Amino acid sequence: SYVLTQPPSVSVAPGKTARITCGGNNIGSKSVHWYQQKPGQAPVLVIYYDSDRPSGIPERFSGSNSGNTATLTISRVEAGDEADYYCQVWDSSSDPWVFGGGTKLTVL
């Protein structure tokens, strides 16, 4: 089955840029979606199809995907961005929805 690998944690100071990676075999050939989950809440879609932003998501959130790594970039990080972030792809060869293990973003 397809595996997505995320770093368990990323720390960043307010106002700086956070980059959260999602590794997978030739992930650049797949579409990647990113979700933000705050404690006690359901996940929220923040980036879809690699780099598109749903309405209501700040422009500070962006995404890219190439080769074996997809990246969620959060610019000018704010305290309110502190959350768990999950990448997700659709894979035709096994269980269709695959999630990464999640990355806890800490704002210092």
Partner 1 sequence: QVQLVQSGAEVKKPGASVKVSCKASGYTFTSYDINWVRQATGQGLEWMGWMNPNSGNTGYAQKFQGRVTMTRNTSISTAYMELSSLRSEDTAVYYCARAEYSSSPADYWGQGTLVTVSS
Q: Which residues bind partner 1 (CB under 8 A)?
A: 1, 31, 33, 35, 37, 42-45, 48-49, 54, 86, 88, 90, 94-102
Nearest-angstrom CA–CA distance, 83 and 26: 27
Work out how close the CB of 2 gets to partner 1 at its nearest, in angstroms, rounded to a whole number: 12
Nearer to partner 1, 59 or 94 (CB): 94
Please name the amino acid found at residue 98.
Answer: V
Work out how close the CB of 34 gets to partner 1 at its nearest, in angstroms, rounded to a whole number: 9
Instruction: List strands edge to edge, sheet with 69-74.
Output: 18-23, 69-74, 61-66
